Amino acid sequence: MARFSQQTERDLRAAGWEPGRRVDTTAWRRQLEATGEVRMHAAAEEFLGEFGGLKVEISGRGISSAREPFEFNPWDLYGEQGRFAGWGARLGKSLFPIGELDRGRFFLGISEVGEILLVETWVASFGFGDAALENLILGVKPEEVA
């Protein structure tokens, strides 16, 4: 059985992903942990190790919302560690910044259990792991959690 739908795999590959892809996350960890507000947990390390640095250029109609471009570059979120720490405390989760959605309109984070969250002045969940990537790419509206 395939890991991703054909559409999701096609869009990820167009962004530079391939099975077995590995990137070094050390610089992201050092920079974002420097303030002491967030910590790169194992789920963030694993996710960014495979998908970090990808810029997925998608648009158009999705399943239940528009397909919006996103980028997994934690450096874009430097200075927002307090927002992630605050929402994490409120939700009882450890959130680590992983990127931006819709060219910086929204932030993306990951919990210690692999849940990918939209973070703004409210928080919504795209789901967990590969299913969350499917939802991001196919245009499934995230479920508001706070």
Query: Tell me: the pLDDT tens digits for 7-37?
Result: 999 999 999 999 999 999 999 999 999 999 9
How far, in whole angstroms, is CA 8 from its chain's centroid?
15
Q: What are the residue ranges spanned by the domains of the chain?
A: 6-16+27-144
**What is the average per-residue pLDDT within 40-49?**
98
Model confidence pLDDT, tens digit, residues 60-95:
999 999 999 999 999 999 999 999 999 999 999 999
pTM, whole model, 2 decimals?
0.96
Residue 128: pLDDT band (50, 70, 90) is: very high
